[in-house]
Amino acid sequence: MEIRVSNTQTDERVAYALLRFVFGMNICFHGLSRLLTDHQAFLAYLTKSLAPAVLVPKATIPAFAATLPWVETLLGLLLLLGLFTRFALIAGFLVMILLMAGITLAQDWTTAGLQLIYCLLYFILLMFLDRNHFSLDSLFR
């Protein structure tokens, strides 16, 4: 029995794969660029950005600055490959919740607005996960 896939279904799968890939590249290279450059500069940036956020424990910022690039690199790579996609999307969304909490407590509304775009992309990709056909997840299924 042959299963036929319409052009519309194929287009949706291609569109999903391209969005997942480019978003994964963005997240992966976010982390990778931070790993390959001056860690102290990233820590200084985070410390300065979160200084107005009185509810953010300042003692947690160095650990967060050390962990975030590794998490971004790994989650971005998983999205690029379409491997453990559901996990990567949910984990990435949780990271965005942490980032959004910090930046809104610091009252940096411009950055918060930009972060909402990332949240929207995580939402779209998670919402339409059934279109994740061109991926390692689909290959191993």
Q: Per-residue pLDDT tens for 60-83?
A: 999 999 999 999 999 999 999 999
Q: Is residue 125 part of a domain?
A: yes
Using one digit for the tens of pLDDT, what is the confidence trace for 6-17?
A: 899 999 999 999
90 is a domain residue: yes
Question: What is the rounded average pLDDT of the residues 91-105?
Answer: 97
DSSP 8-state secondary structure symbol assigned to residue 78:
H
Q: For 36-51, what is the mean pLDDT? A: 92
Q: Under DSSP, is residue 128 helix (H, G, I), strand (E, B) or coil?
A: coil
Percentage of the chain lying above the pLDDT 70 cut: 98
pTM: 0.92
Residue 1 lies in a domain: no
- Whole-number Å distance between alpha carbons of 8 and 139: 21
Domain extent at residue 28: 8-140
Distance CA 29, CA 21 (A): 12
Closest CA to 69 of 21, 32, 118, 117: 32
Domain count, the chain: 1
Q: Cα–Cα distance between 50 and 19 in angstroms, integer?
A: 31
On whether residue 2 sits in a domain, the answer given is no
Query: Looking at the domain assignment, is residue 3 inside a domain?
Result: no
> Would you say residue 66 lies in a domain?
yes
